Amino acid sequence: VRSAAEMAAITESDLGFVPTMGAFHEGHLSLMREARKIHDCLCVSLFVNPLQFGKSEDLDKYPRNEERDFAMAGEVGVDILFAPAANEIYPRESTIVHVPEITDLWEGSLRPGHFDGVATVVLKLFNLVKPRTAYFGWKDLQQCLVIRRMVEDLNVPVSLSFLPTVREADGLAMSSRNVYLSPEDRARAPKLRQTLIALAKALSVEDRSVASELEVARKTLVGQGFRLDYLELVSLNDIRSTLDTKNAALIVAARLGATRLIDNLRLGADVI
Ligand code: PAF
């Protein structure tokens, strides 16, 4: 489906929805397979949303491969692939959805406007697709919390399902941006996950100082050649830094070369 009007005209009572920006990898496919098992009708959107990219970010370079994506969606049994044009989604300057508080930190502060772009497009897509349930990957943990908050605050009639991060055999979280890694950086990249696991184990021992364990882990990553944006223990309620390991997650963003990697580990919830 190419046009928003056509999409809006479809009324399926049991529709599962996976919003994506294309360049499918196993992470996307696992969301689709899960939704496929549950719903009568499965819709996947493929839209590289210009509103969520900063001026200096990689909108023009973002990996695009529609033909391959179409073929993969067919194999997974997607019923509707919704791939609208940008000028149809944004025919004029758009009203913006701004989720407060949880967008101030981490990805929100490093990528100003990013979550306004995400919240705006996700709400527009929900309104066009009218899903019963929408599926997102936990890899973008802050994005999951932002969408959850938007849906609660604006009473959006959709249920949300957040599914575990899919990883390469060596533990690197799957991401469309991994293709940018040089061979040396690709070999180094799994250290991000390994460091989170070591840190989670250290924090599970009673009386360990959260602040000093975080510092050790930060130094490990920098020593491995990562340029660290942040490595923090945060509350899953409000994504603020916390020293309390209950209902908390480790979140990390770091660069290798020009590639920015993010990952997270939910203490007590993720298998380590
Ligand atoms: O996670 C993504 O791919 C995007 O942020 C999303 C949710 C499809 C909105 O453009």
What distance in angstroms lies between residue 184's CA and the mean position of ligand 1's atoms? 28
Helix (H, G, I), strand (E, B), or coil: what is residue 192? helix
Give residue-wise pLDDT tens across range 61-83: 888 999 999 999 999 999 999 99
- Bridge partners of 266, per DSSP, are 249
17, 20, 46, best to mutate for ligand 1 pocket (most atoms within 8 Å of CB): 20
Q: Convert the pLDDT of each residue in 122-175 to its tens digit.
A: 999 999 999 999 999 999 999 999 999 999 999 999 999 999 999 999 999 999
Residue type, 188: R
Q: What is the pLDDT of residue 98?
A: 98
- The Å distance, Cα 246 to ligand 1 centre, comes to 28
**What sign for the dihedral angle of Cα 32, 34, 36, 42?**
negative
Residue with the smallest CA separation from ligand 1 atom 5 is: 118
Output the pTM of the full model: 0.96
Residue 150 CA to residue 11 CA, distance in Å, equals 23
Q: How confident is the model at residue 5 (pLDDT cuts 50, 70, 90)?
A: very high
Q: Which residues line ligand 1 (CB under 6 A)?
A: 19-21, 49, 52, 118, 121-122, 140, 143
Burial 234-243 (b: 16+ CB within 10 A, else e): bebeebebbe
Question: CA-CA distance, 49 to 37, in Å (whole number)?
Answer: 28
pLDDT average, residue stretch 241-250: 96
What are the pLDDT digits (tens) for 83-107?
A: 999 999 999 999 999 999 999 999 9
